[in-house]
Amino acid sequence: MALLDPEQDVRTRALEDLHNVLHHQNTLYEATPPTALYVAAILPDTRTLRSVDKDHRAFPGCVRAELLLWIASVANEVTDAADAIGQQHGFPLDDYPPAVAIREIRPLLFSAASAYANDADRAVSEAALSACIPLLDDHRLLHHRAALVFVIRQVLGTSELWQHRERAIDALNAWGEDSSGLEGQRNPFLFCDTDLSPHSSPWGADQSTTQGRVDDPPF
């Protein structure tokens, strides 16, 4: 329950563990799918409206926004594009149990994230839409794309963060929708964030470096 702890530094460390232990360098581990379910389950808790410490790489937002961005990062690793890259290197997602498990729960994750697509908190809304987009590669969820096109254009497409604007452009283009008028990043080398970068291999990090640390989520 450290993610919901009254102390900001405790919440911050728990969020760091989500990224550095349970999803290190975009890798999915055995503990990542059950953790994703836990994260989705606590999103409605009002304690997720509390703040966290920020550094120069952090996005604005409360714990809820950070959790939604973590779901987005996890979902990025099991998209059709990620699978295509994996197959090119001889590592199809179907051969990797953590990826299979994340794919199986995508409808549950989408249900949790989409509830905040029109949230009054702009950071939460942007994070929710960022999570929804990669989840909508699931064939069971394709029919939800059309309903999100307008809000993706209006919210992500006009975000102050270029990462979100580019995510909107990429999603709309991939779905055959109009992305005209939306402006992405002029110089992609000005900023680099691994959670919103192009898909890496689902085997992106050496799992041996985290063995023994991911069986019991640190929150």
Q: In the chain, pLDDT over 70 holds for what percent of residues?
A: 82
Taking the C-alpha atoms of 45, 136, 165 and 16 in order, what is their torsion angle to the nearest 10 degrees? 40
Nearest to 132, CA basis, from 178, 88, 171: 171
DSSP-derived secondary structure letter, 15: H
Model confidence pLDDT, tens digit, residues 94-135: 999 999 999 999 999 999 999 999 999 999 999 999 999 999
- Name 49's Cβ contacts closer than 8 Å, sequence gap at least 6: 62, 63, 64
Report the Cα–Cα distance between both ends of the chain, in Å, rounded.
5
Q: What is the mean pLDDT of the chain?
A: 86
Q: What pLDDT score does 41 carry?
A: 98
Higher pLDDT, 64 or 194: 64
Confidence band for 190, pLDDT divided at 50, 70 and 90: low
CA distances from 196 to 7, 72, 188 (A): 28, 8, 12
Q: Read out DSSP for 188-208?
A: TTS---GGGSSPPPTT-S-GG
Residues 130/113, Cβ–Cβ less than 8 Å:
no
Q: What pLDDT score does 208 carry?
A: 37
Residues 64/14, Cβ–Cβ less than 8 Å:
no
Residue 187: other Cβ atoms inside 10 A: 7
Q: Which of 157-161, 191-195, 208-212 bottoms out in mean pLDDT, i.e. has the lowest?
A: 208-212
Which tokens sit at 21? 């232990």
Question: How far apart are the C-alpha atoms of 184 and 63, rounded to whole Å?
Answer: 26
Q: What are phi and psi of 152, to 5 degrees?
A: -65, -45
Q: Which of 19-23, 35-39, 141-145 bottoms out in mean pLDDT, i.e. has the lowest?
A: 19-23
| pLDDT above 50: residue 210 | no
| CA 193 centroid distance within chain | 12
Question: How far apart are the C-alpha atoms of 82 and 65, rounded to whole Å?
Answer: 24
Residue with tokens 């942007």: 126
Q: What pLDDT score does 73 carry?
A: 95
| CA 31 centroid distance within chain | 16
